[in-house]
Chain A
């Protein structure tokens, strides 16, 4: 079976990309590229999407699952409504970004790359955002917060919960 008789849930551009991969040598070697496309469109890798990638690309579902869980870059849960990204660039780091990360982790009860059960918050890190003068910085969705301290974290979370 090459997937032509399957009703797809993946976007047609991704299906088209997979069909192109199937024409090349070693189509299975394009698995990571396909997963990037899926995450690029949907923001994360859901099980139905991964299962369909497996069927279309004819790579065992367990292998797809293994690859997706191995690499930190792949998100296995949707991003929260508030995507919190703590900058860990050099300037931010020396000014205590690690303490900020720790504060978010303990306040939200989630690890890096995870999303809270209520779907409100997800926690990620980024490398230098290019505003080192404002270090340490935290980006929440599109907004940059400057000179953040670990102490401010509970208040930041409260504001988002209310707003």
Chain B
């Protein structure tokens, strides 16, 4: 590799050819201020905040978009550069609402941080400001174009990571707005509700549709029996909201915090995950035998499912008909648990604490309502909303003692825990399916081959004389690659695990904004959160879903057999092609 020598702030530095000035400066410990830049997305060069002085150049140069050249002399901090950056931020702020104190991102906003660190202390460019209404048609994602600073990160993540291409810049100049095609409401667009636009937005132009008020009300209503469940990935990420190092498991503290908030019962979505595996393994073995509708596609991720309905409706018959773990658990709470305790299911208020904004969409799907009209899940809180509620109450999370889940819907195997990370559903399914196929206990429980940290993985296993071809994808651009291989017949798979978000649920659109020193979609954050889940799994005695004693009891007492008529009525669902049709 060719090396290039240059000077940054009069310090000699040697880097590989092709390195940008911004990256070269980082090797010297200089973090040039930036706004539209994101290390895992394409280079935009839209904001110009990262400008530097290059000797011999007439203009200031955007350091994110400029590769180093031999002998370059760069100044990152001359008075002129400092002034230019300050002016740029002042101009952006001038066209931005003055609502910091009432804004969702107050204290956690990249524009606010830059304004402070660059020394913007007065407003010199008072001028016309754009006006847009808040667009809140989607149950998941709210779009507030008035706060938008046109950095295009949302557009890039939606197309480059998710392959949805739902967002674009419309109109021009002062009228420019980021929106779906024809400025349609998000709910009438191909948006799959994953919430990655929320994650990457440096300001508050995209936010989840809040559910906290409804949950507070239910908690304060003595006539309500308020039940909460937490998704596998919550325990691996929630601690970040309270200053705990990334990857600190916080299952026990989360349970205690939820009890303090006033939830009557705390269940674990992991139980639903175990149940999903038992049902899905049964479904899968049936398909293997008949050879029909293979490969089977997993159905836990509601963002992925909405993607399937918009972009690949022809593959709907391949999707597992299993409800997601959350919906299985909610359904059982309002049927099995209600029956057992004698509580009127209409009185139960079921809350899901989820890493996911698409879950807010999922609970509003008509398939997820009890025949008598009430929803199986009443509200979904993202990890961020839950952190906020705990803080709003004044609970000192890090000092809490560990709590325990309620039984029976709170006990889970380690297979349930790893649902929260990419490859986890596949691994959990293989642990159960392999034993059912071979009739023998597994010698080794880990299927590390399917842990698709890089976004896409394929693996083959020999089981009971059969070759099983499986693949795992996270991030929908990776899912597209697999589905195209399926459609072209290039590969013959048996089982595909698909997750909408990068890294799986641990990288979900409702997870905490990255802590200091990390960035959104940072693979290191994903890796550490995944590690937390694998550690929890390894420490458990029961690590196979079908060996969860409460699952076995549930079948004996209530459901009958896996894939039986009661299971089908309560635990399975249907999907439907959606318009507008997505463009692949």
**Residues from chain A with Cβ under 8 Å of B181 in the complex:** 50-51, 54, 60-62, 64-65
Q: Are B172 and A62 in contact (CB under 8 A)?
A: no
| Other A-B pairs, 13, CB within 8 Å; known A1-B584, A63-B168 | A47-B182, A50-B182, A60-B166, A60-B181, A62-B168, A62-B179, A65-B170, A65-B182, A65-B183, A66-B170, A70-B169, A70-B170, A70-B172
> Is the CB of B295 closer than 8 A to any CB of chain A?
no
**Residues from chain B with Cβ under 8 Å of A70 in the complex:** 169-172
Q: What is the CA–CA distance of A64 and B180 in the complex, to the nearest angstrom?
A: 11
Rounded to whole Å, the gap between the CB of A163 and the closest CB of chain B is 35
Chain B, residues 407-449, CB within 8 Å of chain A (1/0): the string is 0000000000000000000000000000000000000000000
Chain A, residues 113-127, CB within 8 Å of chain B (1/0): the string is 000000000000000
Q: Are B583 and A58 in contact (CB under 8 A)?
A: yes
65-88 of chain B: CB within 8 A of chain A: none
From A60, which residue of chain B is reached at the shortest CB distance? B165
**Residues from chain A with Cβ under 8 Å of B179 in the complex:** 62
> Is the CB of B245 closer than 8 A to any CB of chain A?
no
Q: What is the CA–CA distance of A1 and B577 in the complex, to the nearest angstrom?
A: 15
> Is the CB of A83 closer than 8 A to any CB of chain B?
no
32-73 of chain A: CB within 8 A of chain B: 47, 50-51, 54-55, 58-66, 69-70
**Residues from chain A with Cβ under 8 Å of B180 in the complex:** 62
Q: Are B580 and A61 in contact (CB under 8 A)?
A: yes
**Residues from chain A with Cβ under 8 Å of B159 in the complex:** 60
Q: Are A62 and B171 in contact (CB under 8 A)?
A: no
**Residues from chain B with Cβ under 8 Å of A63 in the complex:** 165, 168
Q: What is the CA–CA distance of A26 and B53 in the complex, to the nearest angstrom?
A: 37
Which of B169, B583, B584 makes the CB contact (< 8 A) with A66?
Answer: B169
> Is the CB of B167 closer than 8 A to any CB of chain A?
yes
From A47, which residue of chain B is reached at the shortest CB distance? B182
The 7 sampled A-B contact pairs (Cβ below 8 Å) are A51-B181, A58-B584, A60-B168, A61-B165, A65-B181, A69-B170, A69-B171
Q: Are A59 and B182 in contact (CB under 8 A)?
A: no
> Is the CB of B581 closer than 8 A to any CB of chain A?
yes
Q: Are B172 and A69 in contact (CB under 8 A)?
A: yes
From B579, which residue of chain A is reached at the shortest CB distance? A51
**Residues from chain A with Cβ under 8 Å of B584 in the complex:** 1, 58
From B180, which residue of chain A is reached at the shortest CB distance? A62
Q: Are A54 and B171 in contact (CB under 8 A)?
A: no
**Residues from chain B with Cβ under 8 Å of A65 in the complex:** 168, 170, 181-183
From B190, which residue of chain A is reached at the shortest CB distance? A61
> Chain A at the B interface: mostly helix, strand, loop or mixed?
helix
Rounded to whole Å, the gap between the CB of B175 and the closest CB of chain A is 9
Q: Are B580 and A62 in contact (CB under 8 A)?
A: no
Q: What is the CA–CA distance of A42 and B524 in the complex, to the nearest angstrom?
A: 53
Q: What is the CA–CA distance of A147 and B104 in the complex, to the nearest angstrom?
A: 58
**10 nearest interchain CB pairs?**
A60-B165, A62-B168, A66-B168, A61-B181, A65-B181, A62-B181, A69-B170, A69-B171, A47-B182, A60-B583
From A72, which residue of chain B is reached at the shortest CB distance? B172
Q: What is the CA–CA distance of A51 and B583 in the complex, to the nearest angstrom?
A: 10
Q: What is the CA–CA distance of A10 and B476 in the complex, to the nearest angstrom?
A: 31
Q: Are B167 and A62 in contact (CB under 8 A)?
A: yes
Task: Using known A-B contacts A47-B182, A70-B172, determine if residue A62 contacts B166 with beta carbons closer than 8 Å.
Answer: yes
**Residues from chain A with Cβ under 8 Å of B182 in the complex:** 47, 50, 61, 65
149-163 of chain B: CB within 8 A of chain A: 159
Q: What is the CA–CA distance of A58 and B580 in the complex, to the nearest angstrom?
A: 13
A47, A51, A69, A70: most-surrounded residue (chain B CB, <10 A): A69
Q: What is the CA–CA distance of A19 and B180 in the complex, to the nearest angstrom?
A: 26
Q: Are B580 and A51 in contact (CB under 8 A)?
A: yes
From B581, which residue of chain A is reached at the shortest CB distance? A55
A47, A50, A60: most-surrounded residue (chain B CB, <10 A): A60
**Residues from chain B with Cβ under 8 Å of A59 in the complex:** 583
Rounded to whole Å, the gap between the CB of A44 and the closest CB of chain B is 14
Rounded to whole Å, the gap between the CB of A61 and the closest CB of chain B is 4
From B312, which residue of chain A is reached at the shortest CB distance? A1
**Residues from chain A with Cβ under 8 Å of B170 in the complex:** 65-66, 69-70
Rounded to whole Å, the gap between the CB of A150 and the closest CB of chain B is 26
Q: Are B171 and A55 in contact (CB under 8 A)?
A: no
Q: What is the CA–CA distance of A70 and B172 in the complex, to the nearest angstrom?
A: 5
Q: What is the CA–CA distance of A48 and B171 in the complex, to the nearest angstrom?
A: 19
**Residues from chain A with Cβ under 8 Å of B165 in the complex:** 60-63
**Residues from chain B with Cβ under 8 Å of A47 in the complex:** 182
From A70, which residue of chain B is reached at the shortest CB distance? B172
From B189, which residue of chain A is reached at the shortest CB distance? A62
Q: What is the CA–CA distance of A60 and B310 in the complex, to the nearest angstrom?
A: 13
Q: What is the CA–CA distance of A91 and B159 in the complex, to the nearest angstrom?
A: 48
